[in-house]
Chains A and B, each alone.
Chain A
Amino acid sequence: MNQRPTSPHLGVYKFSYTMSLSILHRITGCAASVGFFVFAWWLMALASGPGAYASAMHLLSTPFAKLLLAGFTFSIVYHFCNGIRHLVWDTGAGLERAQARRSGALVIVAALLITALVIWLGCAALTTPGAP
């Protein structure tokens, strides 16, 4: 059978809060992927004309859809911020434990603030009455 060495799995590591940021990066990435399909559907509705766009926007304005959109917003913003953190790591910088913990906290704060800002701007953009 296969005698090649295997890497240790998650269970052997002591939990640290940076782990949950890493897991969250993956979860928000998956959510953002779903968001991409919604985005394509929305663009197709726009291309199909005013009637199709109006019904798409009507669907997106239900409370449940708004909750989903808020989730997509947080997912994209968090994945964006933490993705930059990953790109910095790829240069070899910021990998010390203390630095990783600090940058993680920075990402969380930035993601929450930017998410709040985008939701606020999004609500304004959604409630501005359309041209007749």
Chain B
Amino acid sequence: MSLQTPLGRVLGKGSAGEGVGHWWMQRVTAIALIPLTLWFAIGLLGRSLQSYEAVRGWLAQPWVAVFAILLIITLSWHSRLGVQVVIEDYVHRKAAKNSLLLLFTFAHIAAAAAAIFAVLMLALS
């Protein structure tokens, strides 16, 4: 016997109303982050970080900028999904939960926009 309603079964969605979308994207972004973080960490640790010119010169290269932007998008997405789970697990009052979810969604989008804008500025100026 299934505990799902017939409509829920037809739509393929669970109680959260989005099926396995959240779980799946967490895995997809996790897999993408393996090469992206490795590449970025190795690239960054190979520069002399006190040198503005060295760091900027590296990040401003076309392919480095493209993959840095991919890293920012994937990282912010993965982080947003993870923080969402933590909030949903520990904050149960509806108003507080929804406020926090909105706040962290906006914060992630704002930080991602700033980070992408910064890379574009370095690469295009």
Contact = CB atoms under 8 A, between A and B. Distances in A.
A26 B86 contact: yes
A40 B52 contact: no
Contacts of B51: 128-131
A108 interface: no
B117 A47 contact: yes
Contact of B49 (A41, A83, A125): A125
Given A36-B79, A80-B34, A118-B45, A126 B115 contact: no
25 contacts: A4-B3, A26-B86, A29-B86, A33-B83, A36-B79, A36-B108, A39-B115, A40-B114, A44-B117, A44-B118, A46-B56, A46-B59, A47-B119, A83-B33, A87-B30, A118-B41, A121-B45, A125-B46, A129-B48, A129-B51, A130-B52, A130-B53, A130-B54, A131-B48, A131-B54
Nearest to B75: A36
Interface string B32-59: 0110010001001111111111111001
B50 to A, nearest CB: 4
Contacts of A122: 45, 49
Contacts, number: 99
Contact of B45 (A41, A44, A125): A125
B120 to A, nearest CB: 9
Interface of B: 3, 27, 30-31, 33-34, 37, 41, 44-56, 59, 72, 75-76, 79, 82-83, 86, 107-108, 111-112, 114-115, 117-119, 121-122
Interface residues of A, number: 38
B37 A76 contact: yes
Nearest to A34: B79
Chain B's interface: helix, strand, loop or mixed, by majority? helix
Nearest to B15: A4
Nearest to A4: B3
Chain A's interface: helix, strand, loop or mixed, by majority? helix
A59 interface: no
